[in-house]
């Protein structure tokens, strides 16, 4: 393995850890994720009896009706709910912000990696007798 590969691997390992830290330490992401999780737990508590009624029903036609009621209730608390939509919007914005920070970390590393590998290729080309960057 050449020195460029060794340096690149070290940078990538460090970059991977930094990106992980971005997501782990994002207070906005953590907060919005908890709010969404808490909301969904409350939905589960509210709809639990309808779910049990539908899954424990032996009569197929009654079961289908109970399933429909259960699904309508879930829909009311999720896709039809302003509160749910606001929580999703907040979560998506937090993810987007964390993704941008992670991209910034990766982009910084890529500049260094590109330079290291470009220089290594130039060295290898010169060793093989190939002129680089307009050399005469």
What pTM, to 2 d.p., does this model score?
Answer: 0.76
Asked if residue 133 belongs to a domain, the reply is no
- Rounded to an integer, the average pLDDT of 17-46 is 96
46 falls within a domain: yes
pLDDT computed for residue 1 by the predictor:
60
DSSP letter at 129 equals T
Residue in this structure with the two tokens 């690149």, named with its chain if needed: 8
Q: How many domains does the chain contain in total? A: 1
Residue 136 lies in a domain: no
Tell me what pLDDT residue 133 has: 77
Digit-coded pLDDT (tens) for 76-127:
999 999 999 999 999 999 999 999 999 999 999 999 999 999 999 998 898 8
Quote the tokens at residue 32. 């919005």
**pLDDT tens track for 49-69:** 999 999 999 999 999 999 999
Position 132 in a domain: no
Residue 135 counted as domain residue: no
* 78 belongs to a structural domain: yes
The pLDDT value recorded for residue 135 is 73
Smallest Cα–Cα separation from 19: which of 102, 107, 83? Answer: 102
Is 34 among the domain residues?
Answer: yes
Both tokens of residue 50? 């309808």
- Report the pLDDT value the prediction gives residue 2, as an integer from 0 to 100: 82
Rounded to 5°, angle at Cα 29 from 28 and 30 = 95
Q: Within a 13 Å sphere around the CA of 37, how many CA atoms are in the beta-carbon half?
A: 6
For residue 54, the enclosing domain spans 3-127
Predicted pLDDT of residue 131: 86
Q: Does 69 map to a domain?
A: yes
pLDDT at residue 132 in the model: 84
Q: Which two tokens stand for residue 31?
A: 């907060």
């Amino acid at each position: 393995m050449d020195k460029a590969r060794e340096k690149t691997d070290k940078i990538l390992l460090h970059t991977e850890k930094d990106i992980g830290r971005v997501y782990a330490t994002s207070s906005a992401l953590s907060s919005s994720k908890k709010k969404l999780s808490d909301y969904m737990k409350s939905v589960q508590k509210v709809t639990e009896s309808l779910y049990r009624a539908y899954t424990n029903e032996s009569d197929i036609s009654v079961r289908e009706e109970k399933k429909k009621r259960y699904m309508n209730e879930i829909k009311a608390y999720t896709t039809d709910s302003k509160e749910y939509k606001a929580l999703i919007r907040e979560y998506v914005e937090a993810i987007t912000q964390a993704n941008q920070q992670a991209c910034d970390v990766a982009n910084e590393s890529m500049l260094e990696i590109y330079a290291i590998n470009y220089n290594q290729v130039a060295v290898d080309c010169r060793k093989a007798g190939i002129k680089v960057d307009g050399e005469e």
